[in-house]
Structure 1
Amino acid sequence: MSSIGLVEFPKGGFEAVIFDCDGTLVDSMPAHFDAWCEALATFGAGGIFKEDVFFAMGGRPTRDIVKDLNVEYDLKLDPDAIALAKREAYLKKLANVEFIEEVAEFAQSLRGKIPMAVASGGSRYVVEKTLSLLGCSDWFDEVVTADDVTNGKPAPDIFLKASQLLGVEPGKCLVLEDAPPGVIAAQAAGMSVITIPMPLVVTR
């Protein structure tokens, strides 16, 4: 189980909650970074994606990040091929992914009381696999992924889509996010945001 320590979750003032998945609801960012490293190495680009840059880009669609890396390092990596290789590498690590305790407890406390959604920059296949493995798919009324919008985070599209599906005005939605692109996206959508810090592993 992973923990983020003391974070104050509001008791009210919102009519719906939208959760980012990776790094917010679930402690999966280390597995994603390892998968990135494996995928890039497979295509002869090992070592170019630094960990601090990876965390700063959290929540952005894989293909968009590959395009940025191509520009940064004058490469010609195939975004689709890297995305597929990265997905396959991540799925092999899925058994190591676990809830971030405080966020999961907050979600459980609201289950069935107000509309909730997951809005993730990941692909639908991977996000749904993650939620299913952790047994929390039925906590949420909607799941919106990078596959469902034209512009990924930091554009507000994914959060606006989630609020539309939930039937709640953007200004009445609370977002939980961990990465700068997601925070920017939620703010651009006109939503309140709680920033989730990087989790620490708790042994019991």
Structure 2
Amino acid sequence: MLKRFYPDHDFKALLFDFDGTVADTMPAHLEAWNKGLANYNLSLSRDLHLAWAGRPTKNIVQLLNEMHGVNIPAEQFLKEKEVHYYASMHAIKTITSVVDVVNHYKGNLPLAIVTGSRRKVVEATMSHLGLDNHFDLLVCAEDYTNGKPAPDCFLKAAATFSVSPQDCLVFEDAVLGVEAAHNAGMACLRVMEDQQLQIAKK
């Protein structure tokens, strides 16, 4: 299945971003952001949301505080945003092109979710989508310090699997995530807006 992209490479582990890659959660997340930010008379544009995709929520709150000269409490906002997200979770669907890859390689290669989202949010969404038992590892926002485009999260997954970075293939939709994969020394397939896959060039 992956030979059409990389005919000369046999990957030993597949690492998947979650939001916008495995699950089409981005509209639900943006809605949750704006419902939460309304309490502070702020909003987040779709373009900025996409540009910051892959960053942990706490980091985005810090950026918004700096940008607007406000002091949104990150932990409190996280809880508020999650409530709004859960309320719209029923509308979330999988990204078929990626889940087809997951189903094809499940049980044959180690599969990991590597995300900037919090573990309980990812687990709840996976349960909703019936993906509870599809992945061998979750690397979530709580598991590393430096968010994407730093390579830490992908390197942590590779180390956990005892697989070298050059033998890992990353699936990502966001620019920051693609940069993180390349910074980790990994090949990357990007999920485009039409949900098709293409090789992400450096």
Q: Same fold (TM over 0.5)?
A: yes
**Offset at residue 18 of structure 1 (A):** 0.3
Match of 1:196 among 186, 191, 194: 191
Deviations 1:20-78 (A, max 9, x none): 00000111100000000001112x2332x111010011111001001001111111111
Aligned to 1:147: 142
Partner of 2:52: 57
Contact in 2 for aligned 1:100/1:199 (Cα 8 Å): no
* More relative contact order, 1 or 2 (CA 8 Å, 6+ apart): 1
1:120 has 2:118 as partner: no
- In structure 1, give the amino acid aligned to 2:58: R
* Corresponding residue of 2:75: 80
Q: Does 1:32 align with 2:25?
A: no
The code of the aligned residue for 1:156 comes to P
**Segments of 4+ in structure 1 off by > 2 A?**
8-13
Matching residue's letter, 2:42: G
Please provide the CA RMSD for this pair: 1.4
What CA deviation, in whole Å up to 9, does each residue of 1:136-180 have, x standing for no partner? 121111011011111111211111111111221111100000011
Residue equivalent to 1:18? 15
Report the TM-score when normalising by structure 2.
0.90
How many pairs does the alignment contain? 191
Alignment of 1:160 onto 2:185: no
Secondary structure at the aligned position of 1:137 is classed as: coil
Q: Distance in 1 between matches of 2:83 and 2:185?
A: 35
CA, structure 1 residues 91+10, in 2 after alignment: closer, same or farther (shift >3 Å)?
farther
Specify the SS of the correspondent of 1:84. Answer: helix
Q: Structure 2: which 5+ residue stretches go unaligned?
A: 196-202
Q: Which residue of 2 aligns with 1:133?
A: 128
| Gap runs ≥5 in structure 1 | 1-7
